[in-house]
């Protein structure tokens, strides 16, 4: 479909909670295509959520397979419609960035392992167990669906938010 403009914080759409998407519907298929096209076009992105392109539907895509952090443990391209984390365990702090917050990164504590349930692009129900960077990336994208940015998860803004270099 198309590479879409990424919404940048403080765009108010990024702080809104998304509504469920129609599983297998043409609109949802188009959203998935635009998310994948926009993520791939960015060249460095490992995930995108619908609000980042101005759509308040519960749709996100994640693919960490091309990142050095996600090479070992990944499920390839995950197209997630109405995703929900049904299990989480462990804890890890990682530096996160976001296309919607281009000037900053931050240290965020997330679950080390998760189980996520969703419908895929074909409308099939899936349950996937993820760990490491892939688990972190999914949690980051699912936060977008609830109107949260990584900035909302930083425990100490003075010590854990960093201006990007360059």
pLDDT in tens, 23-33: 999 999 999 99
User: 146 pLDDT exceeds 90?
Assistant: yes
Which DSSP string corresponds to 16-60? SPPBPPPTT-HHHHHHHHHHHHHHHHHSS-SEEEGGGGT--BSEE
Handedness of CA 66, 37, 4, 128 (dihedral sign): negative
Q: Kindly list the structural domains of the chain, giving each domain's residue range(s) and its CATH number in brackets, ordered by start.
A: 12-163 (3.90.45.10)
pLDDT in tens, 42-59: 999 999 999 999 999 999
141 is catalytic: yes
Query: Quick one: pLDDT at residue 1?
Result: 65
Residue tagged active-site, from 87, 109, 134, 141: 141
Look over the chain and give the mean of its residue pLDDT values, rounded to a whole number: 97
pTM value?
A: 0.97
pLDDT in tens, 61-110: 999 999 999 999 999 999 999 999 999 999 999 999 999 999 999 999 99
């Amino acid at each position: 479909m198309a590479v879409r403009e990424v919404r940048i914080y403080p765009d108010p759409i990024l702080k809104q909670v998304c509504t469920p998407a129609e599983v297998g519907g043409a609109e949802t298929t188009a959203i998935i295509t635009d998310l994948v096209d926009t993520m791939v076009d960015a060249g460095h992105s490992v995930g995108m959520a619908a609000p980042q392109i101005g759509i308040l539907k519960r749709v996100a895509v994640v693919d960490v397979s091309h990142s050095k952090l996600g090479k070992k443990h990944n499920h390839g391209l995950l197209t997630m419609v109405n995703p929900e984390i049904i299990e989480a365990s462990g804890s890890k702090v990682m530096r996160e960035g976001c296309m919607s917050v281009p000037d900053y990164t931050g240290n965020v504590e997330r679950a080390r392992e998760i189980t996520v349930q969703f419908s895929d692009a074909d409308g099939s129900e899936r349950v996937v167990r993820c760990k490491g960077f892939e688990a972190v990336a999914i949690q980051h994208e699912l936060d977008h669906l609830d109107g949260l940015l990584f900035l909302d998860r930083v425990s100490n803004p003075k010590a854990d938010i960093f201006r990007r270099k360059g």
